[in-house]
Structure 1
Amino acid sequence: MGLDLSTPVLVVDDYQTMVRILRNLLKQVGFTDVDDASDGTAALSKLKEKQYGLVISDWNMEPMTGYELLQHVRADEKLRDIPFIMVTAEAKTENVVAAKKAGVNNYIVKPFNAQTLQAKISAVLGS
């Protein structure tokens, strides 16, 4: 089974430049249905309105962090199986461990390129 590039993807980041970069990288990889949210609270609303096949979220956001968003997603019966990739500028071991325990599917440390993003997505969704 190949990677389904029509899978709806939700990009969550409070930094518009990063949202643009992620959108462009996802387009390069071939994804066509990409939405974005500026924080975890907005992301939860969108996740309840539309069925996404992947969430790519920044860790550091206000008022709800990507880590808190991940916890909410995993605690929600309707959302808990959505593949979730965390993006962060910090490669702190305790963050990676905390995210793994909370149920993150993969982890990307900034900066990264389209190949890295594609490899992480393929690892999560199947190549």
Structure 2
Amino acid sequence: MICIPLMMATKFDKLTGFMIVLLGAGVGVMNSTVNPFAIGVAVDTIKDLRIETSVGDGLVWRIVSWFVMTTASIMFVMWYSWKVKKNLQKSVVFKTMEANKKFFLNEATEKIEMTWKRKLTLTVFGLTFLLMIFYTVG
């Protein structure tokens, strides 16, 4: 619910925000580099067959495939979004553009101030996330 209003506020259509979320999540899961659920379960299954392997095996290939697919997805979304920004009539959802603007871009604007508590919370969250990734790979 953040990407669609953000994209509409910057004169793109709602499909652009929708594609950011769907393609981003799809490519992320499809090319898991450190996903403990997908990679970890696969490694545990192989170990049951008495084949010695670890979560780090194949990491280079997973990173390369993630990079290629992420780059392709970003390029596709950018191509579509700039095409729509140049000419709104080329949007797939052009017929509902005015109703979408009313729904997603209402007059309520609330400015959220970044206090030291919020900054600290985001920092701790980011460090915890990085620690989780390094722990999973290692």
Whose relative contact order is higher, 1 or 2, with alpha carbons under 8 Å and at least 6 apart?
2
TM over 0.5: no
Scaled by the length of structure 2, the TM-score of the pair is 0.18
- More strand per residue: 1
TM-score by length of 1: 0.20
* Structure with max Cα Rg: 2
Bigger helix share: 2
